[in-house]
């Protein structure tokens, strides 16, 4: 079985993830211009993470949950990203995402 995704399939998955996040944020009535910019930055963020960590490549093994769940270093790294990107209201801010994209 070929687990690799074609580039257009990977992009579609990322677009769906971004759309789901944006749908959830619709409940908070942010300025539409800010939301459009945030959506664009969020899409770029997920593309960079996907490229850097190969989440959608055949080499990333989703079947072995121990590799994902028990990797303490990865969990700590993810927790740091989330903590850095979350503001006092519990919402993810675009500023830390910009910093990650610039790295």
Find out whether 59 and 4 touch, Cβ atoms under 8 Å.
Answer: no
**Does residue 64 lie within any of the structural domains?**
yes
Pairwise CA distance, residues 73 & 57, whole Å: 21
Domain extent, residue 32, equals 7-102
**Does residue 2 lie within any of the structural domains?**
no
Determine the straight-line distance between the first and last CA of the chain, rounded to whole angstroms: 35
pLDDT score, position 56: 63
**Does residue 77 lie within any of the structural domains?**
yes
CA angle 44, 65, 69 (to 5 degrees): 70
Quote the number of domains for the chain.
Answer: 1
pLDDT score, position 24: 85
Q: Could you count the other beta carbons within 10 Å of the beta carbon of residue 11?
A: 16
pLDDT score, position 1: 32
Checking if the pLDDT of 18 tops 80, the result is: yes
Q: Give 36-79 pLDDT, tens digit per residue.
A: 888 999 899 888 888 777 666 655 555 555 555 556 777 777 77
- State the pLDDT confidence band at 80, using cuts at 50, 70 and 90: confident
**Does residue 1 lie within any of the structural domains?**
no
């Amino acid at each position: 079985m070929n687990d690799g995704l074609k580039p257009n399939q990977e992009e579609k998955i990322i677009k769906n993830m971004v759309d789901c996040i944006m749908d959830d944020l619709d409940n908070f009535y942010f300025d539409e211009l800010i939301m459009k910019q945030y959506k664009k930055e969020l899409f770029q963020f997920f593309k960079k993470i996907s490229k850097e960590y190969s989440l959608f490549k055949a080499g990333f093994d989703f079947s072995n949950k121990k590799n994902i769940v028990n990797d303490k270093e990865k969990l700590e790294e993810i927790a740091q990203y989330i903590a850095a990107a979350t503001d006092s209201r519990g919402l993810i801010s675009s500023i830390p995402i910009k910093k990650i994209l610039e790295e």
